[in-house]
Amino acid sequence: MTIVKMNAERQDVTALMAEIGRAARAAATKLAHTPTKQKDAALLAAAMAMRANVDDILNANAEDVADAVKNGLTPAMIDRLTLDVKRVEAIARALEDIAALPDPVGTKIAEWDRPNGLHIERVRTPLGVIGIVYESRPNVTADAGALCLKSGNAAILRGGSEALRSSKAIHASLIEGIVASNLPEASIQLVPVADRAAVGEMLRGLDGNLDVIVPRGGKSLVGRVQDEARVPVFAHLEGVCHVYVDRDADLDMARNIVLNSKLRRTGICGAAETLLVDEACAATHLKPLIEALIAEGCEVRGDAAAQAVDARVKPATEEDWRTEYLDAIISVCVVKGVDGAMAHIVEYGSAHTEAIVTGNAATAERFLTELDSAILLHNASTQFADGGEFGMGAEIGIATGKFHARGPVGVEQLTSFKYAVRGTGQVRP
Amino acid sequence: MTIVKMNAERQDVTALMAEIGRAARAAATKLAHTPTKQKDAALLAAAMAMRANVDDILNANAEDVADAVKNGLTPAMIDRLTLDVKRVEAIARALEDIAALPDPVGTKIAEWDRPNGLHIERVRTPLGVIGIVYESRPNVTADAGALCLKSGNAAILRGGSEALRSSKAIHASLIEGIVASNLPEASIQLVPVADRAAVGEMLRGLDGNLDVIVPRGGKSLVGRVQDEARVPVFAHLEGVCHVYVDRDADLDMARNIVLNSKLRRTGICGAAETLLVDEACAATHLKPLIEALIAEGCEVRGDAAAQAVDARVKPATEEDWRTEYLDAIISVCVVKGVDGAMAHIVEYGSAHTEAIVTGNAATAERFLTELDSAILLHNASTQFADGGEFGMGAEIGIATGKFHARGPVGVEQLTSFKYAVRGTGQVRP
């Protein structure tokens, strides 16, 4: 390709993305005060359309999958990409679940009266235009678009090129629902080209028409977005989550929680990656915990103490303590009580999710109070780190930043607020 | 100065600021779970120290003022810089007021139970390290430092070079209080050098040791921080605030609110800059409102309709509608009802604060619901846009961004939150 042609195409993408941004802003202005019923009707109609169009969606997906096989994508990637009737039905049902959530927009977060008679309300408002940059899961197209719509935000979706046909087919059903409910078509836009320059334009903020970016995918995608975005980002780079088994832990409870935290699903961000065992109970707890993990097929990499109790334990390197395996591998370390555990977590963790197992309420309080991860659990599995499990409904992701949204990012976290002040002619003395 | 020497000094500032950042992070880690009493004791001791050291503070200030006069600073700048016994007492009393505020850290924002027995709490946590970049008001040193301390955050203060001696003297009293209460000295640090490179280092985030920047000062300072900061910013670039007088407005109430919004204090960000009058009441309301403004010494710049009712009205240019005068000047425009008013505000406003004067509740609701400025008032002066007036206590500033903090930024807005989840051994199915 000549440089002239490349520049021309680059300019085309810039112009296309600018136009998408303007259309999104115009749609967002309307969505900000669209009645709940009208938004919900769009989502329900989209779910119906999804079911009616299941053949189109599966045909488009089959083409994507065929290309993926041809291009040598990994089995895990192909699995994430592949749809079937059951998965399409799950996508449709997720739209209905989102429609059933309470509408955050317009709700009062707080209200109070002033001595001068002013009545002050803090009222939820949408954020505006939300950009979602994701990889090969086509269901994100529907989930993320629906969460934005429900919270009164316009969405700009930029999915992975390997799922573009699937995403377009799903997006067509969303548009059917949006049009049926008389909302602006630009309420949920899908970037129609695979050109990577489109992501660069989104990171630069589309001339002020993009308010926040949510990256969904692997560490390299999230890292690029966090490093380069000129607008706020809701994300977590990784979840190096810990389970700390304290001297006052019941061994059976500890074993259940450790196995579940690590192995229920190894590929999610709330999966535990490191087990910390209090030296005061290492003599009784360390060996059975390691044996249980190995018996369930988990590779164990440990410090000297962990290696000493089982010959199958491999030596852990300094790098292991910082690693999010997302696989059936765990690092194990003996620490000096809750202080040692907290020091290890501060040093090596990613401030996502940590659990303590202990029967000692005072020790648990210290762990929950002094650590500053997004989610801290006492006597429960780290795999509960999930908006649905928290009862917050569907989530667009989990954030580890401390600004605006933290932990599961659901419809409430996709809103801002404003102050509505009602008076009777008050002026300031 | 040789380039070699400049580079050496630049490197000194880089090293100095990196060290300040590291010390702040270490202090923040302790402050995050310092008991309320200990923080309040530090603030009360600092107020006492401020009174005991009043001579030192006034002597240091006199040197700053003498230099300012020599360097030809404007009378307004010199007024902002100048301290006297009364102003020092006001600074001390502000510290006591901040000590008396409720401590946001550790308070539960929400809590709920899950069907599986998990108890979930959303708990306020400090943000971490807050940088404040300000100009010549020495009182910001005490106010901002105290607000950060109260909310469990470490503060890095970078005041204007013209007030450096005053700020150092005030800071010395803060440190007395901090040391008396056994808190880390680095809880509130003042950048001790006037070199502008220090601001650049703060904008780059001090190697991850600065979590948010609050600029306090003129538009060029705030604009630079917003453009260049690599960390979140709580700020408003400007307050182009509007008063809209609707067809259903009582004239006397409208006159009171317009005069107060514009003229009570013209230099604050909540001062009105543009008056919008409904064409349906222009015949009765426009002339008396303009006459009242002119009678109070306000210059009026208007559209053709405003010029037609009073020969003293100067023509407004397109630029006037976008201008924050911060002076006794107002732009006046006749609009087509509330829709015209809202269109004008969206086109020209800065999303800070807008007021509607009307006896029609439905019209007021549209104005409060459909507009998306940080603060919207019905039948009240725009000059209420202030954390103290809102009953939120002292504020570190007013934010017009939609992320995290919006409107007055008080101690609550200087916090994040985390989730504390308590279980009895729950694992995820």
Calpha distance B331→B182 (Å, rounded): 54
pLDDT number for residue B1 = 42
pLDDT-derived band at B9 (thresholds 50, 70, 90) equals low
Q: What's the mean per-residue pLDDT of chain B?
A: 94
pLDDT number for residue A7 = 57
Calpha distance B178→B189 (Å, rounded): 11
Cβ contacts of B402 on chain A, cutoff 8 Å: 125, 127-128, 211, 416
User: CB distance B120–A390 less than 8 Å?
Assistant: yes
Residue type, B269: C
Looking at residues A185-207, what average pLDDT do you find?
94
pLDDT-derived band at A77 (thresholds 50, 70, 90) equals confident
pLDDT number for residue A6 = 52
Residues B17 and B191: beta-carbon distance below 8 Å = yes
A68-72, A248-252, A335-339, B134-138: lowest mean pLDDT where? B134-138
Cβ contacts of A127 on chain B, cutoff 8 Å: 402-403
Q: Which residue of A has its CA nearest to B249?
A: A425
**Predicted confidence (pLDDT) per residue in B144-160, tens digit:** 999 999 999 999 999 99
Looking at residues B381-403, what average pLDDT do you find?
92
Among candidate residues A24, A45, A19, A49, the one with its CA nearest the CA of residue A184: A24
**Predicted confidence (pLDDT) per residue in B183-207, tens digit:** 999 999 999 988 889 999 999 999 9
The ipTM estimated for the assembled molecules is 0.92
Reply yes or no on whether the pLDDT at B5 is more than 80: no
Residues B111 and B121: beta-carbon distance below 8 Å = yes
User: Of chain B residues 394-423, which have a CB less than 8 A from chain A?
Assistant: 402-404, 406-407, 416-423
**Predicted confidence (pLDDT) per residue in B19-57, tens digit:** 999 999 999 999 999 999 999 999 999 999 999 999 999
Neighbours of A105 (CB within 10 A): 24
Query: Cα(first)–Cα(last) distance of chain B, in Å?
Result: 70
Secondary structure letter of residue B233 according to DSSP: B
The structure tokens listed for B9 are: 């000094």
Share of chain A above pLDDT 70, in %: 98
Q: What's the mean per-residue pLDDT of chain A?
A: 94
- For B371, B374, B376, the CA distances from B366, given in Å and listed in that order, are 8, 15, 11
Do you know the residue count of chain B?
429
Judge residue A148's burial from the number of C-beta atoms within 10 Å of its C-beta, 0-12 exposed, 13-18 middle, 19 or more buried: buried
CA distance A106 to chain B (A): 8
The structure tokens listed for B49 are: 């120290």
Looking at residues A60-77, what average pLDDT do you find?
94
**Predicted confidence (pLDDT) per residue in B91-137, tens digit:** 999 999 999 999 999 999 999 999 999 999 999 999 999 999 998 88
Among candidate residues B261, B255, B327, the one with its CA nearest the CA of residue B295: B255
Residue type, A420: A
Q: Which residue of A has its CA nearest to B252?
A: A425
pLDDT number for residue B52 = 98
pLDDT number for residue A10 = 63
Task: Describe the crossing of helices B337-348 and B361-370 by its angle, rounded to 10 degrees.
Answer: 20
Type and span of the H or E element at B377: strand B375-380
Q: What is residue B277's three-state secondary structure?
A: strand
User: Of chain B residues 127-166, which have a CB less than 8 A from chain A?
Assistant: 127-128
Reply yes or no on whether the pLDDT at A306 is more than 70: yes
Between A368, A417, A420, which is nearest B420 by CB? A368
Please state whether B426 falls in left (phi above 0), alpha (psi between -120 and 50) or beta: beta
pLDDT-derived band at B76 (thresholds 50, 70, 90) equals confident
Reply yes or no on whether the pLDDT at A216 is more than 80: yes
User: CB distance A114–B391 less than 8 Å?
Assistant: yes
Between A369, A417, A425, which is nearest B406 by CB? A417
Do you know the residue count of chain A?
429
